[in-house]
Amino acid sequence: MTKLYIAVPCYNEEEVLKDSAHKLLHKLNEMIGKGTVSDDSKIVFIDDGSKDRTWEIIGKLHDETKMVQGIKLTGNCGHQNALLCGLMTLKDKCDAIISIDADLQDDIDVFDEMIEKYEDGCDVVYGVRSKRDSDTFFKRFSAKMYYKILNHLGAKIVVDHADFRLMSARALESFSQFKEVNLFLRGMVPMVGYKSAIVTYERKERLYGESKYSLKDMIALAVEGVTSLSIRPIKLIAKIGLLIFLVSIAMLIYTLVRYFMGATEVGWASLAVSIWAIGGLQLLAIGVIGEYIGKIYLETKARPRYIVETYLDDDE
Ligand code: UDP
Ligand code: MG
């Protein structure tokens, strides 16, 4: 039977925490009752340096039932880091981890389906929103554009999936080989490979408290996504440089023609051509340097170059 851990990052969540914990406990007990998960499954709250009573509440819940555990970080490290801490701390204790936000905007009733897919042999099961009704028009529009851009930049990303997913212990073990510090988990998880599946659900509105992600945080996460998954923006510089340099050649031909037609001012031809030529060459040079920086960047991440799933040898 699957030993399931549920990892929940929390930052100043005193308003929702009790309610969420009870719903999660109810769900987990129901699953244990049905025999879908083992009775030593747990819910683990990761307190990301909250300044309110979050940790106190986690402590109380832990006293009430050993099914609830808590991890406290020394200070606020951000959602992605708190979640990673949960995944890495717990990966050796269970068969699979489901990660979910403390506000339970994601539907806990798809846990069963996630476990089913896991038992069918999927190592990663992504929770994907079917509708975005609970979002503002702006959030829907920007999210759609964003996924388009990311896909264009060559990142493998699951559309409309945030950080609600199940990962098997072995997928987590492979994931632990990714040592980068700039985290955009939803973009990195697909890199571990293995068989994966998606389950869809309708995302609800936050019941209590408010979103811990301001517009500024959202933009920061979006930029993080692009810059930690792709070095194509740098390559773009070289392309633009080349383009402008080509324009300068066209300008050269044009100005020569004008010159021989006698229709130019003195000095105009050389000036016009050099502006484009220098601009283009400079951008091109920056692009070349960027190309190397991109390589250095990828080297410093030291990502695993491959992950072995099975090795059929003749030991047995
Ligand atoms: N969170 C965190 N650290 C932070 C900010 C947020 O651990 O610095 C947690 C938060 O408690 C919640 C999850 O990350 O469980 C997602 O935050 P939120 O629901 O506010 O984001 P939204 O749903 O608005 O995108
Ligand atoms: Mg939320």
Q: Are 265 and 130 within one domain?
A: no
48, 114: one domain: yes
Same domain, 204 and 291: no
Mean local confidence (pLDDT), 161-172: 96
Q: How many domains does the chain have?
A: 2
For residue 171, give its domain range.
Answer: 4-215+305-312
- Given this model, what pLDDT does residue 51 score? 95
Q: Is the CB of 105 under 6 A from ligand 1?
A: yes
Secondary structure (DSSP) of 266-309: TTHHHHHHHHHHHHHHHHHHHHHHHHHHHHHHHHHHT--S----
| Residue 138: pLDDT over 90 | no
Best of 83, 108, 213 for a ligand 1 pocket test (most atoms within 8 Å of beta carbon): 213
Which residue, among 193, 288, 175, 189, has the nearest Cα to 229 in the 3D structure? Answer: 189
Q: Does 237 lie in the same domain as 197?
A: no
Residue 222 belongs to a domain: no
Residues with CB under 5 A from ligand 2 (ion): 101, 103, 105
**Domain match, 203 and 262 both:** no
Q: What is the pLDDT of residues 85-124, one digit of tens each?
A: 999 999 999 999 999 999 999 999 999 999 999 999 999 9
CATH for 135:
3.90.550.10
Rounded distance between C-alpha atoms, residue 68 and residue 18, angstroms: 12
Copy the structure tokens of residue 133.
């009704």
Atom of ligand 1 nearest to the CA of 13: 11
Residue 37 shares a structural domain with residue 79: yes
Q: Mark whether 261 and 164 lie in a shared domain.
A: no
Residue 27, pLDDT score: 96
Q: What value does the mean pLDDT take over residues 279-307?
A: 90
Whether residues 67 and 209 share a domain: the answer is yes
Model pTM? Answer: 0.84
Q: Are residues 78 and 186 in the same domain?
A: yes
88 and 114, same domain (yes or no): yes
Same domain membership, residue 11 and residue 160: yes
CB-ligand 1 contact for 177 (6 Å cutoff): no
How far, in Å, CA of 90 to CA of 169, rounded? Answer: 9
